[in-house]
Structure 1
Amino acid sequence: MLEQSYVLALVIASLAVSLMGSFTGLSLTYGINALPGAQRKLSVAMAAIALGGGIWSMHFVAMLGLELPVLFYYDALTTLISALVAILMVGIALLLMHFRARTPRGITAAGAIVGLGIAAMHYLGMSGMQLCRPVYSPVGFTLAWGASIGLGIVSFHVIYGARSRRNVFFGTLCLGLSVFAVHFIAMGGTGFLPDASGSPEGPLLDNATLAMVVTLAAFVICGAFLLTGVTFLPSGGAAAGEEARGAPDVRSVAAASAKLPQSPAALSGPSPEGTASPLAAPPVSAHHPEAAAMAEPARPPGPRQGSPSLIPYEKDGRTIFVERAKVAALRAEGHYTILYVGGQELFCPWSISEAEARLADPGFVRAHRSYLINVSHVTGFERHKDNGICFFEKTVSLGKVTVSRSRLPAVRDALGV
């Protein structure tokens, strides 16, 4: 076996590329269920290219850091195929997550597909080596495939267990580190032998050409990382809780500012729009009741007396209505929400805060900052030390919802437990 070593700087660079590619791809999928079908497909395609390209780039940045006592090249066609396989496998997984009902089994399947794609890309890329033949130990080969699938599943459960900015950040770490770990687990079980049958003739890539290609890919990933990072992070004074429920609409905040009451008596009911003058409004102190109210997005103009019997959702360019009694839960998805109705996930134009305001009655209760649940659909409840779980066994697209500690008393009261 040939003696092998690595350039530390390129190993670190490969980790950075893996993390940036993961973040770019995952941030591109955040909130896309709120988009129409064609735009969602485009976002999935872009995310697949970013994630798959990041996996491929990480591999070849690390391979550029591999030092062997002989010259070696890569077959251009095999190298291209390895990149396309990674993009295709990631794309399939993302399609499952954003065009099918999202269930624990589906998340596991999508994670396994990504894991298979990571390992397949690695070994396809390795098979393209010329003038030097990789030799795999059975233990190392098995461990690499097992780790790839297992880490892929874990990563996708972190990413899609709940759709929030926090999950995207932790998912980036899990997936980026998984790709990095799988590569070096596989390389730990790989030896190299000189291959006298190899020939430098034909469509081969030497290290200099490969370095230019990989550098270009890494540059694109870095640029995309910066662009998505700027738009992904909450702007200005966005509250931490908005990472799951979406930022308030600007018009709602402006309307709320115009509606500040002129006297304590006005706190007992909503002020008619346009009656409050900015000059006449009293200063708002930290102890003023209205100051606390401004922490939440203001309810947009519209009827507020009573709860609507129908909830709107959009499909194929139309607004359709579903009876509120049929909706098991609403989940925050950026500035909008997803309705869980039987086995369907429907796009609702309301934000989670607006939905909570419109559906204010004992039947709908906030279980988590990302979820508003209909207690009539809850089939079981499980109390944990710091939180709880509501089960929705008749709602196959939902399954269960975690109840946060701060919401636990309200949920238990609504369930009567």
Structure 2
Amino acid sequence: MFRGHDPYLVALSVVIAILGGYTGFGLAARIRGTPGVSRRLLLAGAAGFLAVGIWTMHFVGMLAAPIPADTVYLVLPTIISFLICALVVGISLFFVSIGEPSLRRVVGSAVLLGAGIASMHYVGIHGLAGNFAIRHDMPMILLSILLAIVTAYGGLRAFLARQEGVRLIASSIAFGVAVSGMHYTAMYGMHFVPLADAAHRHAGGLAASQQILSVVVSVLCFVIAAGFLLSLVPEPRRQNLAAAAAASDPAPEAVVASSQGREPAVASPRLMPAPLGGLGQPPRAAPAVRLPVEGANGTHFIDSADVRSVRADAHYTRVHDGTRERMCPWSISEAEAQLDPGLFVRVHRSHIVAIPHVSFVRKEGDGAVIELDGPSPHRVPVSRAKIAEVKARLGLAKRHA
């Protein structure tokens, strides 16, 4: 597959694809938790870095290939190849970032993105001009397209997983190797056929030499490296959210006190006077009537009576209303502080449930699992430490004593 290729440029092309994937996925992972204009900027940035990474990897791979010395690059097909890549990446990320990412939508977006990556490759290949014709082996074309679609599906799954840290690095490496594998598979099936008549060189149009392309690719490599380094800088907003979550997370003693009928000390901007006889306790938060959730066209509010469960998702949460999950800008600790403790209970480190909507409970392993009612019932795990409290809230403590 790498016959005659410059091994250093091949290695550089793989690294570029990995860095582009890391930066693009890192930006894409923040889209669902960011509303408004910032969401659009993150989507554009993620699509841009992924497209630049894929396109730059392609042309670094072209510079590594043993192509004829007098080859030039037609500017128009080269630019079109980049526009194709940027367009399909942006559309695919947009489709899976709005609403609920069903399997059909993810697969459809992956097919679109994979076909776009393959189209970018072959349009860019036929931007080569010289005293030769280009021939392709059909099995290698089909295999490269299949690899592109599989690569796209894996990339979109990485985006939907909101991965960070080691998992983001692993998915970026897999993405970079897969994109590079698609390119070199297609190159393996490509052959230059010399033309006897030099008049067939190229009909005309603006062209660039390999030296000019090298300069352009070098600049884009710098852009990708700079974006990668910037993505490693901690985001102040995330640091503040993490600090706020840590500050508002009730201590274990407070959780035990809550289970025994005493009120945990949780700070909140909405306060109620302390109950009689509780002069030593701080005031508690008034229960939230509505919860903010992010939709395709802005922030919506749903009544807390319709909430079935709240699930932690990084520094944010996902609220299930019995039909579907939607992103909420609150952290799991903030949600616990804002919701009525008489109706909601935190059954797991990452889950809060509405007790009135529990329709099913059973022991599972060391913990338990409960089902919440609604048009689309769903199940939530219960940690071992919370089983007794859940049973008491459901009126099952005596029955299972």
Aligning the two structures, in what range does the TM-score lie when normalised by the shorter sequence? 0.7 to 0.9
1:129–1:329 Cα change, 3 Å: farther
2:76 and 2:206 in contact (8 A); partners too: yes
Residue-by-residue CA offset, 1:131-156 (whole Å, 9 max, x unaligned): 14332111111111111112321332
Listed as ranges, the matches of 1:343-362 within 5 Å are 346-359=326-339, 360=341
| Larger-gyration structure (1/2) | 2
2:74 and 2:128 in contact (8 A); partners too: yes
Tell me by how many angstroms 1:59 deviates.
Answer: 0.4
- Residue 248 of structure 1 is matched in structure 2 by 243
- Residue 208 of structure 2 is matched in structure 1 by 205
Q: Which runs of 5+ in 2 are unaligned?
A: 255-260, 272-283
Separation in 1, partners of 2:349, 2:264: 30
Separation in 1, partners of 2:123, 2:42: 27
Listed as ranges, the matches of 1:39-58 within 5 Å are 39-58=38-57
1:5–1:318 Cα change, 3 Å: closer
- Residue 192 of structure 2 is matched in structure 1 by 192
2:308 and 2:373 in contact (8 A); partners too: no
Separation in 1, partners of 2:166, 2:210: 38
Is 1:222 aligned to 2:225, yes or no? yes
Tell me by how many angstroms 1:61 deviates.
Answer: 0.7
2:23 and 2:228 in contact (8 A); partners too: yes
Q: Using structure 1 for the length normalisation, give the TM-score.
A: 0.72
Please identify, of 63-72 and 86-95, the stretch whose mean Cα deviation from structure 2 is larger: 63-72
Residue-by-residue CA offset, 1:57-111 (whole Å, 9 max, x unaligned): 0000111111235421111010001111111101011111222322233223323
When the two chains are superposed, the root-mean-square deviation of aligned CA atoms in Å is 4.4
Secondary structure of 1:34's match? coil
Residue-by-residue CA offset, 1:225-266 (whole Å, 9 max, x unaligned): 111121369999x9xxxxxxx62328x739999xx99xxxxx
1:248 and 1:335 in contact (8 A); partners too: no
- Residue 9 of structure 1 is matched in structure 2 by 8
- Residue 323 of structure 1 is matched in structure 2 by 303
Is 1:172 aligned to 2:172, yes or no? yes
Equivalent pairs: percent with the same residue? Answer: 27
1:357–1:407 Cα change, 3 Å: farther
Q: Using structure 2 for the length normalisation, give the TM-score.
A: 0.75
Residue-by-residue CA offset, 1:138-194 (whole Å, 9 max, x unaligned): 111111111111232133224314555554333322322221111112112222223
Listed as ranges, the matches of 1:377-388 within 5 Å are none
Separation in 2, partners of 1:378, 1:159: 32
**Aligned partner of 1:118: which letter?**
I
Please identify, of 207-216 and 95-104, the stretch whose mean Cα deviation from structure 2 is larger: 95-104
* Alignment counterpart, residue 319 of structure 2, candidates 339, 352, 360: 339
1:187–1:46 Cα change, 3 Å: same
Separation in 2, partners of 1:133, 1:231: 50
1:188–1:235 Cα change, 3 Å: same
- Residue 231 of structure 1 is matched in structure 2 by 234
Secondary structure of 1:311's match? strand
1:14–1:391 Cα change, 3 Å: farther
2:343 and 2:356 in contact (8 A); partners too: no
Separation in 1, partners of 2:359, 2:210: 60
- Residue 310 of structure 1 is matched in structure 2 by 290
2:269 and 2:285 in contact (8 A); partners too: no
Listed as ranges, the matches of 1:390-405 within 5 Å are none
Separation in 1, partners of 2:57, 2:369: 39
1:169–1:385 Cα change, 3 Å: farther
1:30 and 1:163 in contact (8 A); partners too: yes
Listed as ranges, the matches of 1:86-165 within 5 Å are 86-131=85-130, 132-161=132-161, 163-165=163-165
- Residue 279 of structure 1 is matched in structure 2 by none
Tell me by how many angstroms 1:206 deviates.
Answer: 1.1
Please identify, of 309-318 and 73-82, the stretch whose mean Cα deviation from structure 2 is larger: 309-318
